[in-house]
Structures are given as structure tokens and as C-alpha cells.
Chains A and B, each alone.
Chain A
Amino acid sequence: MLNNISLKSVLISGAVALTIAGQAYAYEPARSGECIAPANPGGGWDFTCRSVGKVLVDQGYFKGNVQTVNMTGAGGGVAFAHTISKRDKDDNLVVAASTATTTRLAQGQFPGMNADQVKWVGTLGADYGIIAVGKDSKYTSLTQVLDALKKDPSAVKFAGGSASGGWDHLKVLMTAQKANVENLPKVRYLAFSGGSEALVQVVGGHVDAFTGDISEVKGFMDSGDLRVLAVLSEERLPAPFDSIPTAMEQGIDSVAPNWRGFYVPGNSSPESYDWWVKTIDELYTTQEWKDIMTKNGLMPFHKSGAEFTQFVKNQTLDIKILSQDIGLIK
């Protein structure tokens, strides 16, 4: 009997997903909502949707459910296109975004789309960039790595979980640029399908250095297989990451927060936008969200509303200029 019920629920949940994807409901903040995670289950966007959705329901913002819908494709481009073309007036929809979204917008990888076509709600934390090496590496500080790059830009090979030109690649180039490394296009970067795949190659001694986010390295850091040379944040991160020096301490002015946040459809009602901004502001201060941040290595980083919109604009412009400077785009 039980298995019958379970099978039914499976079919129903599939059907519900279909219905929700196809319809737009009138705006009522107290009912169910939908969060699009523009990637497969398991990534950062999926995490953003699921954890925020859970807190929104736990804290009573939604009486029903906040459904996470995974919409994979084009590094968020499919979800972005879906939002502006089919859900442009949907008040109950939020879409997870991060630095990867602004990077692709800046590099023109969402053809015919730009950051002004949606409304940017806010961020709920950031995952700071790190540069790390295996435990047997000859490098013990970021300065040594950059000195080696100054002599020969291809001396140190980096592995990361984003495609060439993606955020993990840009972090290395930004840091190298601040340290006056010349001939940046010559810096070698190996693109893997995910941070963990890249990490294993570095820990296994096949690639010199890892570029990624702090949340990706905790396991190998604790086991002693990985030496984190620098975190790309303004100040040292809280425990247990407080032993990692920042790049700034080592004289390199490089900061790379990978923020986690949301946008909503461009023509959703102003009231619903204000409601989302207010809700995200409140959610950020709850103990439940603070616990989730601690557990997942997310660091304080909160901007919302107009401030966040300006931030997205600036970041998009910065990345565009950098990408042009180093020859990633023309």
C-alpha cells in the first residue's frame, strides 16, 4: 500500500513541476513560490534555492512550499532567457544567481541579453575565492607563486571548476594582474567540469595549483592534503578558516567574492520586488540562515535593492574590461 502511495506522489510531484513551470499565479506573498536553480541539483545555485526556500517556509513567509525547479543550460542562460521571455511578469518567481551569472552577462555569453532585463533582489552571502596547492608543493605563499609567474607566465598551471574565461579562471588572472604579471594570456588554466574534479587533480599532484572557492576545499584542507595559500577577501575569514592569510596581507590587492543571490523577472510588479527585497533583508538576519552560512562556509556579504543593482552593474563592467584586457573577448 505504502509503495503505491509513494509511486503516486512521485508522479504527482512530476505533474506539479510541469504545471508550475507552465503557469503564472497572481501575486500573493503568503502562498507558494518558485525558485529556479539554473543548473543541475548539487551546484551552488541549487543550494541557494533549496536552503533559502527552506528558511522562507520555516520562517512563515510562505504558507505553502517554495518549489525548486532545476533549469539547466548555457551556464544559467536558459533560465535567464526563460525568465525574460516567458515569465517576465511573474511575481512569485525568483532565480538564483551568482558571480557566474554576471561573468557570462559581461562576456556576452547570453546572446542578446543583458543585466538590465531583470531586477536584482539581493545577496545572502558570498563564497570567497582561494588559491591553493597540494601538500607536497614547493610553494608556501601566494607571493612565491606570483614571483614564479612573473619570470614565466606558464610556470604554474592552475586547475579550476569553471570553463576557460569563467570565474575560477578570472580569479587567477585578476590576482596576477594586480601583482603586475605580464603576458596574462600565457597563464595556463585547466578547465574541469567541477571544482571537486579539479581539486582531486591538484591533490594527486598532477596540476600545480587550484583556483576555486573556500566552500570547496574544507574536506581536503582538514585532511591535510591541501595547502591554501591565500583567500581573496578583504579580511581574514572567521574560524575555522582564520589561519589562512588574505592576498592583501601578502601585498596583493585582490578580492574575489562569489556572491549568492537572486534576481526576479524584469516586469514583475514593483510591490512584489519591494517585498522580495525586504524579505531577503530580514531572512539574512535570522539565526537559521546564520547557521546555514556557517555550516556551508558562506561568508557575510549582504547587498540588496538599489545598492545590489549598482553592484551588479559595476561588476559586469569590471569583468568586461578585464576580459577585453586579457584577450578573452574582443
Chain B
Amino acid sequence: MDTMSLLMQGFAVALTPESIMFAVIGAILGTLIGALPGLGPANGVAILIPLAFSLGLSPTSSLILLTSVYAGAMYGGRISSILLNIPGDEPAMMTCLDGYPMALKGKAAEALAISAIASFIGSFIATIGLVILAPILAKFALRFGPSEYFALFALAFATLGGITGKNQFKTLMAAAIGLMIATVGIDISTGVQRFTFNTLELFEGVDFIIAIVGLFAISELLFFLERHAGDGLKQVAINKLKLSAKDIIKVLPASFRGAVLGFVAGVLPGAGASLGSFISYTLEKRVSDKGEFGKGDPRGVAAPEAGNNGAASGALVPMLTLGVPGSGTTAVLLAMLISLNISPGPMLFQQNADLVWGVIAAMFIGNLVLLLLNIPMVGIFVKLLSIPPKYLMPIVTLVASVGIYSVSHSALDLYFMVGFGVAGYIFRKVDIPLVPIILGMLLGPEMEKSLRHALVLSDGDWSVLFNSGLSIGLWTVAILGLVLPIIVGPIVRAKMKKSKESVKDA
């Protein structure tokens, strides 16, 4: 009940006209930033920090603005995933898998509406989770030691085959490429530089934002050039929205599952929104025995969207309660908090109760605003993307390049971006999936660090990896994730084939 009264106080802060204004501005800007490929939430928030400072906003207003941008970007990321097959941000990768096929089938409007509803459910449930579970989950996160983290990352890699499905070998190869890129830079466990060739810019490794922009956005530009020179251009047409209550009800279970999973993934530090959408999608694919995942199943749009929005709010739990960012974006938000002389940590909820609860209440309001914005006004955001690609692609490339350059001020990063673009083009030509590359880059260094730490703590005894109930549980799920597809896969595929045939018959 104490929590309730604090939350009510929070609403008193969040419902002031000033707060509502910043929530609305943040939501709109965030959606725009999210919709533009390459400018993910982390970049978006990072670029807006100077704005918040130069306007001289109070800490509460700044945070409301930036968390709304964050939430908006998570919503916006799906728009270009669905319409262009380019993820607007990294967690929106999974939405491409079914969203784009839906759009190709002439159901772009439905895909956008379903994903907006799923995003709302994801954020809403996760924000409720944040309110209820923040103190409890903060303690749970403390139980994750190096060996538990290692098991968690092993679980992520074990279930990797589930995303792309078709060619396990190419998936593995892609993950290995990601892991290889991840070894560049200083090895913090020994202080030794690996594969840096005395180039200062490589000392801290290859930034995965650059890889994402290159692999996805620049390769898309190259594909566009190629198509334009060849067969001409195939554009996704936006249809009129025909969404019945039945359609919405059909994706509700997927949205709820995705929301909960995403929230849990977000709460675990270092896991973040990408893992949230990834796990939600793969689980949904496993749980739903029939359907056309990968070919435009609405549930394949709802689950990852609920997942990544759930994770986005979930990631605020470790950030606010422990001062440990759960994702790239929360790391930027953490930076913002520290710049405002607010130190996140276990005492934050006591010392800055007004601010924390005001922001949480603002998230509820921001979500409502986003849902309202995204259903009737989705046309406006879509217009932005239905600009002919010959205008849009150069603009996107420019914005992406400026975004990349403004983060690091390094021209080498731009060369890398172009290099990744060419590599992405080749990978797509030979059907090597791009998602596992990114996951390898994101999770590889963390996994290596966890293993080393676990072994240092045990003086080289490998049994430390299985010494707690939590890690044994994680290993069990990992093994199931690896083995089940091999056994169950053929059965599911047979079922899928059957259901497809019955659809054809009807």
C-alpha cells in the first residue's frame, strides 16, 4: 500500500501540464527517431541529452522527456522493420521476421496496428512490474554471479538456432563472425590489446551500433542501388486498416507472454531489449504449434514487440535500483542521471522518491499517449517512410552517418560503417543471417568475461559453473533449448506443413 501512495504522489508530479507536455514531445520525437533506421533509442536519447541541458530543464522534466523518447523509440523501431525490412533499432530486428512478410502480403496497416497494441501491452505490463517488483527483483539480480551469467549467455547462444530456423550451419557461422569481431580491443581481464594493430580507435573494440547501422542500413542501401539498376523497385503498399476485435484477441496471449518474458530479460543486467524480443519470438514460435512464423504471422509481430517494449521498461529496474544499466539506452539514461547529480542505487527510491515515482507515472501516461498516437496517427509516421526510397535512403544514410559520427567523433567509425555495409550485402547474398552476428558481438565479450571471472573465483575449478540451483536451472533450459528443436523440430515442421496444406485446401 505504501507503494500505491507513492505512485499516487508520482501521478501528481506526472500530471502537471509541464510534465504532460514533455511526455508528449518525447513520445513524438522518440517515435520519429525510432522509425528512422540506424538511429536507435540509445542514439536518440544521447542526442537529446544536450537539448535537455541547454533548455535548462529540471531533473524530473529531463527524465520524463528522455524516458518518453526511449519508449517512443521502442514503438517507432517497428515501423521501418515492417515497411522497409530494416530494423529502426537493434531490438526491432525480430519484428522484421514476420512484420515485413505481412506487409508484403498487403497487411502493412494491420501489422502496424497489432504491433502498436502489443507494444502498449508490453510497456504497460512491464511498468506495472517495475512498480511491484523493483525492490524484490533488485535482490534477485544480486544472485547472479559470474557462473550464473555464463549459464545465462550459454542459454542465449543455445537457443540461437531458433531464430532463423533453416540453416543451422550458417547461423553458427554468423554467430562465430560476431564473436570474432567481439574479440577486437582490450581484453580487460589481462589488460592486453587483441587484434588492434596499434590503432587507437580499435582499443575499445568495434562498437556494435556501427555494426548494426552498417549491416542493416548500408547493406539495404546497396540492395536498393542494385535493384534500381536492375528490375526496378518494388514498394510496399500501405493498405486500409481492417482490424477486427477477433484479430486483436488472437494476438493477446502472444503479447502477454512476450511482455512478461521481455520484462524478465530486461531486468537482468546486460541482457536488455534485444534478448527480450529474441526470446519472446523464439518462445512464441515454440509455443504456438501452428502458424506461419517467418511468413507473416501476426503473433510473430506481437510477441517480439511486446517483448522489446517490456524489456525496455524492465531494463529500468537494475538501472534505478542498482545503478547497473540493463541496456545501451539505460546506460545513456544512467549517464544523464549522474550528470544531474542523482546517484542511482538502492537508496534512490528513498532519497529521490518524487523523481522516481514521477518518472514511473510519466511512463504510464507516455504509453497511453503513444498508443493514441500510433493507432490513428500511424499514417503520419508511415508517410515519413513512404517517401520514395531514392529520397529516403540517402537521408537515412546521412542521418545514420551523422548519428554515428556525433557519438565518437571518429572518421574511422564511418569507414567501419561502410565496411560493415559491404559485408552485410555479401552476407545477405549468400544467406548468412545478420541477427546472430550482432548477438555474437553483444554477448560474446560478456560471456568470456563471466567465464574468466568464474574460473578465477574457483581457482580454475570448472565445476563452479554448476554450483548453484540458479545456474543448474539455466543450464537445463539451455540444453532443452539446444536439444528440443532437434527432436521436436521435425514434428513441428510436419505439423506446419499439414496446417499449410489444409489452408491451401480451404
Chain A interface residues toward B at CB < 8 A: 2-3, 6-7, 9-10, 13-15, 17-18, 21, 40-43, 46-47, 50, 65, 69-75, 77-78, 81-82, 109-111, 154, 157, 163-166, 188, 190-193, 196-197, 199-201, 203-207, 218-220, 222-223, 225, 292, 295-296, 328
Contact = CB atoms under 8 A, between A and B. Distances in A.
A157 B402 contact: no
A190 B453 contact: yes
B198 interface: yes
Contacts of B334: 42
B198 A111 contact: yes
Contacts of A197: 269, 324
Nearest to A195: B323
B298 interface: no
24 contacts: A2-B21, A3-B25, A14-B47, A15-B402, A18-B406, A40-B335, A41-B49, A42-B334, A42-B338, A71-B410, A73-B200, A74-B201, A74-B203, A109-B203, A163-B189, A196-B345, A200-B141, A200-B269, A200-B324, A203-B142, A206-B146, A219-B347, A219-B348, A223-B347
B144 interface: yes
Interface in B262-304: 269
A207 B204 contact: no
Interface in B334-351: 334-336, 338-339, 341, 343-348
Q: Provide the main secondary structure of the chain B interface.
A: helix
Interface string B139-176: 00111111000000000000000000000000000000
Contact of A13 (B51, B186, B322, B403): B51
B457 A13 contact: no
B86 interface: no
Contact of B143 (A21, A165, A204, A218): A204
A41 B203 CA distance: 18
B51 A72 contact: no
Nearest to A204: B142
B191 A71 contact: no
Given A13-B51, A42-B339, A73-B200, A219 B332 contact: no
Nearest to A189: B456
Contacts of B54: 9, 13, 65
B interface, size bucket:
35 or more
Contact of B336 (A41, A71, A154, A328): A41
Given A191-B191, A223-B345, 11 more contacts: A6-B29, A7-B29, A41-B339, A46-B338, A73-B204, A109-B203, A110-B200, A111-B198, A190-B456, A196-B324, A204-B143
Given A111-B198, A222-B347, A196 B323 contact: yes
A196 B322 contact: yes
B189 A200 contact: no
Given A71-B409, A166-B191, A77 B323 contact: no
Contacts of A2: 21, 25
B132 interface: no
B456 A157 contact: yes
A225 B346 contact: yes
A218 B457 contact: no
A14 B33 CA distance: 14
B247 to A, nearest CB: 31
Contacts of B143: 204
B324 A72 contact: no
A212 to B, nearest CB: 12
B345 A193 contact: no
A249 to B, nearest CB: 27
A18 B405 contact: yes
Contacts of A292: 341
Contact of A207 (B332, B346, B410, B457): B457
A219 B186 contact: no
A200 B46 CA distance: 25
A31 B2 CA distance: 51
B489 interface: no
Query: Lowest 9 A-B CB distances belong to which pairs?
Result: A219-B345, A42-B335, A206-B145, A74-B203, A41-B335, A204-B142, A165-B191, A163-B188, A164-B191
A222 B351 CA distance: 11
Contacts of B347: 218-219, 222-223
A295 B21 CA distance: 30
Given A47-B339, A73-B201, A204-B143, A41 B457 contact: no
B407 interface: yes
A170 to B, nearest CB: 11
Contacts of A109: 203
B408 A73 contact: yes
A42 B457 CA distance: 29
Nearest to A113: B200
